[in-house]
Chain A
């Protein structure tokens, strides 16, 4: 299929349909309302379901209900809205249902602002809802990558029977870029008869299915948490994705950055190289699981004297970077989180102060 020029939010909506997900529930919030405005017209064309819920709280449970009934389903929201959905996300993870959540992040905390941010990193990777639950979290750096991650998210959610999150900063949703929707990423939903409440007649079985998260018996609850942990460990083993840049040289320092911020860093790295200063970069594409090995290996290069975690947040990902580097090389943070994206020149200044 030929490339088309699309706004990130609209491309995310189309990507879900192309992936085979025809059910969308959402509540409006800037900067991602265009997904709903796109899908309200598009879903009827493909025989899909569109519903604007009364709140993000309700939408979270509409997703839970639909996912529990065995249908592919997704929603999109932005930071404060994701906070409201996080209760449902915990229940969905506990009940082991597949669903896809897209967070087009804006600045926080509180109402924060409506401009791009990466300030929900810790929430997405470590603190999404109460209890021992995790999401598989993918962070796109372009509209094309957002499309591909959305398309991959549905089979991954089904593989793990766990919610998957696409964590994009506001710029990913708002900017227009050429995109294509790879046909080979369209997938058939898995058979969910073993657990979904899709009706006993539908299954031609004699036993009923339960979708629940209450385990009053401590042994049963621990067993459920062990089952969840096993899935998260399997994600760590099988789903880590990252991309490296400018690491085939004896770089003096390493940048770890993701999403829109990584594209700025890439420009800065090119400009620094032209001045004779080599800096490498590891860009996490999954932030849970975090590419610990790729970051550690890149940081351990003998020429590397410093690692910079550059984020549109106040030092959140740096905790994962430090955990990966394990104190073998100094690690420091640079970032902004008001909606102003650091420029290549600002990144260059920081590199020169701390590394070169």
Chain B
């Protein structure tokens, strides 16, 4: 009997720096499987964000550029416009995409740039040590909201998938999660769908992946999964928010 489960070619042989219980590794794998299955590794360029995934290029095995904080959609725009034959995706966290990079993602989506964004939303700044993000939940404690996020001071968390789906131009906006196997299969399908739309030259596609950060949430991995399911998924509901007409 041959091998039935192996590492995708699009992943490198490196150990990741991600914390126990973090879902970046699962999301990396889904992206890598998709790229392998579509046979596009040799013409794919990824854009790494600033955040926990800044070193994502160490774990993927194809061309990569590293952006400044929030600017990945602008870089992807530059690449895709001058080399439309390349398959381009950005991989961004919630601080990167929904805070400092809000302008870039809105305008890239609205122009219908023909690249794909994987948006990993774990409701906190991970790499800088657990500060409040635009996606942090009401009353959620972080190092810069030590008494809990006060919505009367800083507003409600931003629902990026809904916000972007309100634009008329983007092709595909979906929200998924990978905290349990039943969700992982759906997330894989959505990620593959997003890349397939790019392959078909349809405009902008984005998959938001609701993710965990046990380290900065101060939880065990199991508690993090439970909190994600109970709290985050109630507010950030999975589903397709926009599909091509």
Contacts and interface: CB of A to CB of B under 8 A. Distances in A.
B196 interface: no
Contacts of A212: 48, 57, 64-66
B112 to A, nearest CB: 12
B65 A208 contact: no
A62 B74 contact: yes
A241 interface: no
B86 A54 contact: no
B66 A71 contact: no
Contact of B78 (A69, A87, A198, A214): A69
Interface in B32-76: 41-45, 47-48, 54-55, 57, 61-68, 71, 74-76
Contacts of B129: none
A199 B57 contact: no
A210 B64 contact: yes
Contact of B77 (A65, A200, A214): A65
B107 interface: yes
A201 interface: yes
B81 A199 contact: no
Interface string A9-24: 0000000000000010
B103 A199 contact: no
Given A58-B107, A88-B68, A49 B54 contact: no
B63 A208 contact: yes
A91 B68 contact: yes
B77 A211 contact: no
Contacts of A58: 71, 74, 77, 103-104, 107
B82 interface: yes
Contacts of B75: 61-62, 64-65, 68
Nearest to A23: B82
Interface in B85-136: 85-86, 103-104, 107
B78 A199 contact: no
Contacts of A63: 78
B167 interface: no
Contacts of A57: 71, 74, 103-104
B64 A208 contact: yes
A211 to B, nearest CB: 4
Interface of B: 41-45, 47-48, 54-55, 57, 61-68, 71, 74-79, 81-83, 85-86, 103-104, 107
Interface of A: 23, 25, 49, 51, 53-55, 57-69, 71, 73, 87-88, 91, 95, 197-202, 208-214
Given A73-B78, A208-B61, 12 more contacts: A23-B81, A49-B81, A54-B104, A58-B77, A61-B68, A62-B77, A68-B65, A69-B65, A91-B68, A202-B43, A208-B62, A211-B66
